[in-house]
Structure formats: C-alpha cells, structure tokens
Amino acid sequence: MRSFWHRSSLRWRLFVSFGVLLAGTMLVSLSLQSGFYSQSRVEDLLQQELPTQLERLRAEIALRLAPSIQASRSLAASPFIERWIQAGMPEADLPLIEAEMSRVHALLNAGSVFLAASDGQRMVYHHYLDGVLKHRLMDRDHADDAWYFNYLATGAPYELNLDTDSFSDALQVYVNYSSPIRNAAGTPFSVAGVGLDMRYLAEMIGAYRLGDTGRASLANREGLLEVRGGEVLIQDLGATPELRALLDRDQVRVGEIRHAGQDLLVGVIWIADLQRYLVVEVPRAEFLDPIARQLGQSLLIGVLLLALSLLLLYPLTVSLSRPLVRFQQQLKHITQTLDLSQRLHTNDQSELGDLAQQTNRLLERLSSTIQEIVSGSERLAESASRLAQTAGLVSRRQLLSPSSNYSMAAAVEQMSAAVVEITTTMEELSGASSQIAEHSQSVADAASLTLNHGQKGEAAMQQLLQGMAEIHRDTAQNLQDISELSARSQQIGKVMDFIQTLADQTRLIAFNAALEAASAGEFGRRFSVVADEIRRLADSVTTSAREIEDRIQDIQETVGRLVTTSEKGANAIQASMQVSSLTADDLHALVGAASQTSTAARQISLSTRQQQTASGQVVAALRDISQASAQNARSVREITDISEEMIDLSDSLNALTQEFRAQERPGSPGMTDHGPDAGADTPDPSIGQAS
C-alpha cells in the first residue's frame, strides 16, 4: 500500500489527502456532536425530568388516596362506633353500623368497607360490600386475621395492606386505621378502613407514561413489585446490588441500570401514604434512538456535501500541481541531455519560484565544478606520470631507458639486503653476549656462595673463641674452688684430730668412772652401766673419726690430682685460644677477599646483561629497519601501481566529463514558453539557455 502511494501522482495524492481530511473532520464532528447530545439528554433525564415525573406521580397518588385515608380515620374514630363497642356490640345496633359503613362506601365509591371491633374480650370483623353487611369472630390462629395482629404489632396509626379477605376473593388495597382509644386489653377499640379495588390503582399507575415505553409500578418495602403499569422488566428491586441501592425512603433515587440485557433508566421514590415504593423504568434506547436517526440523517447530508466538495476539489488540485509537473518535466529534460547550460523557468513567485532559482544556481555551480574537474583530471594525469617515473619501475604504457634501472625500488631493496646481513651478525653477537652473561652469572653466584660460607665460618670461629674464653674462665674458677676445697678439707682434718683427742679423754673418763663404780659396790652399779655406755660411745666416735680421716685423706689426694689436671687444661685452652684467634684473622681476610670477588663478578654479570640488552635492542631495531625497508619497497611498487591507476582514472574522468555540456553551444536553438496549457508529453517549453 505504501509503495502504491509513493508511485501515485502528486495531484492524485493531494486529492486523496484533502478528501480524507474532509471526511475525517466531518465524522469526528458528527460523533462528538452525537455523543455530547446523547450524554446531555441522559443527564437531563436522570437529574431533572425523571425525578420531576416521580414527584408529580407520587403527589397525584397521594391526592387520590387522601379521601380514602381520611374516611378510614373518621370511621375508626367515630364516637358512635366507640360507644357501641363499649356497650358490648349489641346486635340491635348493627343496622346503624351498616348505615355508617354504607355512607362511607357511597361517599368514596370504594370497593368495600370493613370494621374490626374489640372490647377486650371479643374481636369481631365486619365487612360491607354491595349493600350487604357480613361479620364473623376473629381468631389469632386464623390465617385471614393475620393482617390484624401484624398491623397491631407495628404500632403505626395507619397502613396500606395489599390483601384479600374471607368475604371477597378480589385483591384490594386496604387502608387500615386504628382508633386512638384503647380497651381493657390495651388494644384499639376499632381498626377500620376501606378496600380500594386493585384495578382502580392499577389503572391509575398504568395510565402513567414517560415517553413511549416508560412504565410505572409499585413495590413493597422489600422491593418486590405488587402493582404493574404494563410490561416491565424489573420484578424485584432487591435482585441486584445496583437495584438495592435505589431503595431509599428519604429521597428520590435515579440511576442507569443494565437489566435483562437492556440499558434502563430507573427512578424510585417512597410514598409514605401507601408505604410503597413508586418505580419508573424507561429504556435508554427510547431516548437515544431519535439521536441515532438524527445522526444518520446528518451523516447522509455530510456525505453529499463531501461528494460536492470533492468535485470542486479536483480542479483545485490539478491547478496546484500543474507548476510542479512543469518543473519536473524541465528537470527531466536536463537530466536526459546533461546540458548544464539550460535553466529552469516558472511564473510562480512563491516557494516553487524560489526552488527554481536555487536549482538554477545549483546548475551553474555544477557547470563550473565540471570544468574544474576536467582541469584537475589533466593535472592528475601529469602528476601520476611523474610519480611513476620517479618510482623507476617499467610502466605498462612505455619502457624506461637502461640508465633508470638503479631506481628508488632497487636502492630500497639493496638497503634491505644490507640490513638483513647486519641483523644476522648482530644476532650472532647477541648470542655470544648471552653465553658470556650466563657464565659471568655462574661466577657471580659461586663468589656469592663462597662469601656466604666464609662469613658463616668467620661467625662460627668467633663463637668458638667466645666459648673457649668462657671455658677458660670456668676452668680458672674451678681451680680456685678446688684450692678452697683442699684448704677446707685440711681444716676438717684438724677438727677430726680434736674430736679424736676428745674421744680418748672421754674413754679415759669412762674408765675412771667404771673404777669408781666398782669401788662403790652395790650403789655404783647404775653408774657403772652409764660408764660402759659412755665408753662404747667414745669407741664409736674414735672409729668414726678414723674413717672420716681416711675419707678426707682420699679427698685431699683427689683434689690434688684435680688441681694438676685443671692447670693442664687451662694451659691447653689458653694455647687453643691463641690458635683460634689466628684462624679467625685468616678467615676474616678470606671473607674480605671473597667479598671483593663477589662484587667484581656482579659487576661483570651486570655489564654483560647490559651488553646483551643493548645487542637485543640493536637487533630489534635492525629488524624494524629491515621490515620498514621491505615495506618501503612494496610501497614504491604500490605507488607505481596507484600512479598508473590514477592515469587510467584521469582518462575515465575526462571521458565522463565530456558528456556534460557546460558551455552554451553555438547555434543551439532557444526554447520558449508555450503557456500553462502545454501538454505533459511535449518537449519542455520552459527551459532556456543560460545567459
């Protein structure tokens, strides 16, 4: 579709665009107008018309029910009836009661008149219809009397009840009104009222119309419809939440409800006199169908106007597109002939005229550009030829002289070969430098290892000297302690001599004591025992002292030998210390020499690595130079090829520019304008040559 649109003529696209714009504007206008009017009509119906109709209908129903309610009130509050009930409801007065009920019946033209009388003991129901008064006793358990007790339970002064009684099967609306005076049982003396025929109420409700199909109906407190004014869709206001929301005894409720497949406008109002809801439902389509018909008529008129507008629009589009068509024909002629001396002409002074002026200036610039291109292509051919000769290679068009063999390409190739040879030599030199660096590194490692071991040996010798010095000090101290021990042992010998002397004297004293005890006879026997014990103790002391002397003698001999040995050991340690000191000095000198050797080896290794690095950089640089030389040689060949291609391109460009006619040709006939009615297939009538 898009390709078809782009292939269509300009006048056709203008015509279709204007037509679609007019049709869209008309449709949007009609749609907005219809939607606005429909919404306004629905809002007016919901907010004003429907609530007003409900209020009016409720007032009419209340007005028609007011006499019945008033008559029921007067009948229930009749003093005569109250006195009759207080008197026990004698049957002799029944004709008078019948006359009162007949008067009410004739006054209201009601369907029936009833009276439920109760004196506290009996409850009697009286019913008057068509000139006949009937009565019966009422019972709480009787189904026909349930209305009476339900009404008393509400306590309301009056109510309307839709029901039948036992004397008539017709469905009626009964107005129940209670007497304000109570009997002994606390219930009203009477509940009286009239029964309105349902047909009368149905006719009154059914006579109501809102539009053609709008209907009214009555619903009880629970929302269930009781009186219908015709065919209605809503039967129960409590069926859905939307319908239940309309049940409000305080104010009018209206809403737009979709029920039974139709859109309805529903209004609900509470009638206090009837104790019922008045319901009005109107199909929404009844009010919107006229609007739809009006929209159809407006649409038909709009189509006719659109057709008329299109008939008038086509000549206008043709007139608007004619200058563009002529402009296109002129450009087509210039394109086919490639005659840049021609110019565009138009009578339009607006945008199209400005476009023609801009196009003419463009043609002028193209003409001057083509001429410059021709001149530039010639200079390009000359430059390409010189470039090819400078490169020194044989051209595809001509052969150069033998003296030109030594050209730029040959020089570059020779330089590349020399660089390759230098690169090979430097690589060999770099390999030798690498081996020297590896050996020098091994020497440096060995010197470092020797230095480390020498430093460790020097440190061990220093520790040995320190240990031998400590041993020498300990030996001297031991020798001193042994000397002191020898002196102490001699002192102990002197003490033992003294102990030996004391033991001899003790033994002598014990002997003298024994002699004295023997001379004392029986009295000295105990003393003799003590003397014997003292003598034995002195003998033991003497024996122990001799053993101690022997031990001390052994100790002194051992100490003497130990002193001799310690002196020899001290002398040997002193000699060893002197030898170790000399050895330490030698090791210190060795460590110094090893340190110097290690430093020199590291310097040699560092210098060798630097030489290796420099050789590698030289080799890398030579390789780059070799690659650059080869690249230069290829570039020279490519330059020659490019120069030859440039020569070919220049020739092609010259041939191409020859097709353009940038200058005015002598004797070329001029073209004149034949007017706006010139045909589209004739030669361009508006093209003139450039001045």
Residues linked to residue 342 through DSSP beta bridges, in sequence order? 689
Banded model confidence at residue 679, pLDDT cuts 50, 70, 90: very low
Residues across the chain: 691
Residue 392 tokens read as: 């020194």
Q: H-type helices in 207-350, by residue range?
A: 241-244, 284-337
Q: What are phi and psi of 267, to 5 degrees?
A: -125, 140
Superfamily of domain 412-642: Methyl-accepting chemotaxis protein (1.10.287.950)
SS3 label, residue 214: strand
549 within 8 A of 496, measured Cβ to Cβ: yes
Q: What is the pLDDT of residue 123?
A: 92
Q: What SS3 state is found at 152?
A: helix
Percent of all residues in the chain with a pLDDT value above 70, rounded to a whole number? 84
pLDDT number for residue 395? 45
Task: Please report, as a single letter, which amino acid is at residue 301.
Answer: I
Structure-token pair, residue 291: 């609007």
Give 117-175 pLDDT, tens digit per residue.
998 889 999 988 888 888 899 988 888 888 889 888 888 888 877 777 667 666 677 88
For domain 39-285, the CATH class is: alpha beta
Work out the pLDDT band at 478, boundaries 50, 70, 90: confident
Mean pLDDT over each residue of the chain, to the nearest integer: 76
Question: Using a CB cutoff of 8 Å and minimum separation of 24, what contacts does 476-484 make?
Answer: 476/570, 478/566, 479/563, 479/566, 479/567, 479/570, 482/559, 482/562, 482/563, 482/566, 483/563
Residue 229 pLDDT: 67
pLDDT score of 280 more than 80: yes
Residue 671 pLDDT greater than 70, yes or no: no
Q: Which token pair is 511?
A: 């002997």
Q: What confidence score (pLDDT) does residue 630 get?
A: 73
Q: Which two tokens stand for residue 421?
A: 């040879």
Three-class DSSP category at 424: helix
Q: Extract the tokens encoding 370.
A: 């083509």
Alpha carbon 44 to chain centroid distance? 48
Segment 297-319 shows an average pLDDT of 80
Give dist(CA 244, CA 415) in Å, integer.
110
Count CA atoms closer than 13 A to 644's CA, side-chain side. 14
pLDDT tens-digit readout, 38-73: 777 778 777 887 888 888 888 887 777 788 888 888
> Distance (Å, rounded) from C-alpha 177 to C-alpha 104?
14
Q: Which residue has the tokens 């001379």?
A: 519
Q: Identify the top-confidence range among 43-52, 289-298, 401-410.
A: 43-52
At position 445, the amino acid (one-letter code) is D
Q: Alpha-carbon distance 375 to 653, whole Å?
A: 10
Q: Which amino acid is at 593?
A: A
Determine the residue type at 303. Answer: V
The DSSP bridge partners found for residue 175 are 160
Burial zone of 173 (CB within 10 Å; 0-12 exposed, 13-18 middle, 19+ buried): buried
Question: What pLDDT is stored for residue 411 in this prediction?
Answer: 64
Using alpha carbons only, what angle is made at residue 13 by residues 7 and 18, rounded to the nearest 5 degrees?
A: 165
Q: Is the pTM of this model over 0.85?
A: no
Tell me the CB-side half-sphere exposure of residue 47, using CA atoms within 13 A.
Answer: 6
* pLDDT tens, residue by residue, 411-448: 666 777 777 777 777 777 777 767 776 776 777 777 77
Return the top range by mean pLDDT from 186-190, 382-386, 572-576.
Answer: 186-190
Strand partners, 271: 276
Region 174-185: what's the mean pLDDT? 87
Which residues have a Cβ under 8 Å from the Cβ of 594 and sit 6 or more positions away?
Answer: 447, 450, 451, 454
Distance CA 605, CA 434 (A): 10
* Number of neighbours of residue 240 by Cβ within 10 angstroms: 13
3-state DSSP assignment of residue 212: coil
Q: Calculate what percentage of the chain has a pLDDT beyond 90.
A: 2
Asked if residue 190 has pLDDT above 50, the reply is: yes
Confidence of residue 667 (pLDDT cuts 50, 70, 90): very low
Query: DSSP 3-state helix, strand, coil percentages of the chain (rounded to 5)?
Result: 70, 15, 20
Exposed e or buried b per residue across 176-198, where buried means at least 16 C-beta atoms within 10 angstroms of its C-beta = bbbbeeebeeebbbbbbbbbbbb
Same fold, 39-285 and 412-642: no
What is the rounded average pLDDT of the residues 501-516? 80
Rounded CA-CA distance 426/418 in Å is: 12
Q: SS3 of 94, please?
A: helix
Element of type H or E holding 455: helix 408-520
Q: What is the pLDDT of residues 531-569, one digit of tens each?
A: 778 878 878 878 887 788 788 878 878 877 877 887 777
DSSP 3-state assignment of 580?
helix
* Least-confidence region, from 80-94, 329-343, 401-415, 519-533: 401-415
Categorize the per-residue pLDDT at 662 as very low, low, confident or very high, splitting at 50, 70 and 90: low
**Residue extents of the structural domains in the chain:** 39-285, 412-642
